[in-house]
């Protein structure tokens, strides 16, 4: 939801949960799983991320957990673009088409495993009555299923997509959709004054 709407990237996840969940829920902790981005493709990206991490760190209920961000070069099969059928004489820009191309591949490693681990740990320690997971990653189906069925906990799915993965929705106790109105209502102030007294600003490219 944020990629095509950068104006909503200045997002307070704690406030987002308050906007979506029912008013009687007391939100005691928000675990935020991420990885430090590489500046290989965008040299400004680490700086923007650090500003956002500083904003998150200003919310006492938010605890951050870091995986690893890997940027590698890899070979991938090329999908040939379809030519416009309305232009029968159109020709591809070059021939012959290669079968493979070399690409930059960026992967965030560890966040899904960390999320699953802390969901299980918090369940075993009875740290919550209700958990809400923001994801559409089907790798989390089994941890959610275990916590709901075997541990008897309530685990909801806060989904950023119109049609969440069926297996995730089935494993969850409830499903709430994250809508644009929720993102709009859960933005950090601009500018934001930190507890230290320092003032930070939303990155200009997120305007």
For residue 51, how many other CB atoms are within 10 A of its CB?
Answer: 16
Task: Please write the tens of the pLDDT for every residue from 37-47.
Answer: 888 878 999 99
Give the pLDDT score at 196.
95
CA distance 142 to 116: 9
Backbone angles phi, psi at 157, to 5 degrees: -110, 120
Give the pLDDT score at 109.
64
Give the pLDDT score at 92.
64
Contacts of 35 (CB under 8 A, 6+ apart): 66, 67, 68, 69, 108, 109, 110, 111
Residue 155 contacts residue 148 (beta carbons within 8 Å): yes
More confident residue, 79 or 204: 204
Domains belonging to the chain, first-starting first, are 6-71+97-206 (3.40.50.1010)
More confident residue, 86 or 53: 53
Query: In this prediction, what percent of the chain has a pLDDT beyond 90?
Result: 75
The pLDDT of 9-27, averaged and rounded, is 96
- Residue 13 banded pLDDT, cuts 50, 70, 90: very high
CA distance 12 to 8: 10
More confident residue, 203 or 37: 203
Q: What is the pTM of this model?
A: 0.81
């Amino acid at each position: 939801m944020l990629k095509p709407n950068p104006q909503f990237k200045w997002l307070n996840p704690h406030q987002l949960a308050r906007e979506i969940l029912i008013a009687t829920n007391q939100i005691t902790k928000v675990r935020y799983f991420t990885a430090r981005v590489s500046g290989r493709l965008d040299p400004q990206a680490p700086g923007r991320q650090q500003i956002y991490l500083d904003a998150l760190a200003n919310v006492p209920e938010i605890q951050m957990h870091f995986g690893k961000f890997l940027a590698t070069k890899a070979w991938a099969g090329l999908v040939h673009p379809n030519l416009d059928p309305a232009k029968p004489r159109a020709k591809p820009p070059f021939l012959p088409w290669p079968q493979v191309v070399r690409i930059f591949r960026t992967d965030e490693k560890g966040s899904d495993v960390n999320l699953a681990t802390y969901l299980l740990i918090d369940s075993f320690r009875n740290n919550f009555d209700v958990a809400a997971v923001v994801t559409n990653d089907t790798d989390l189906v089994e941890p959610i299923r275990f916590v709901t069925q075997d541990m008897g906990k309530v685990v909801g799915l806060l989904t950023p997509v119109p049609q969440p993965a069926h297996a995730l929705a089935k494993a969850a106790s409830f499903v709430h959709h994250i809508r644009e109105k929720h993102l709009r209502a859960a933005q950090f102030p601009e500018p934001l004054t930190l507890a230290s007294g320092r003032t930070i600003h939303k990155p200009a490219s997120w305007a």
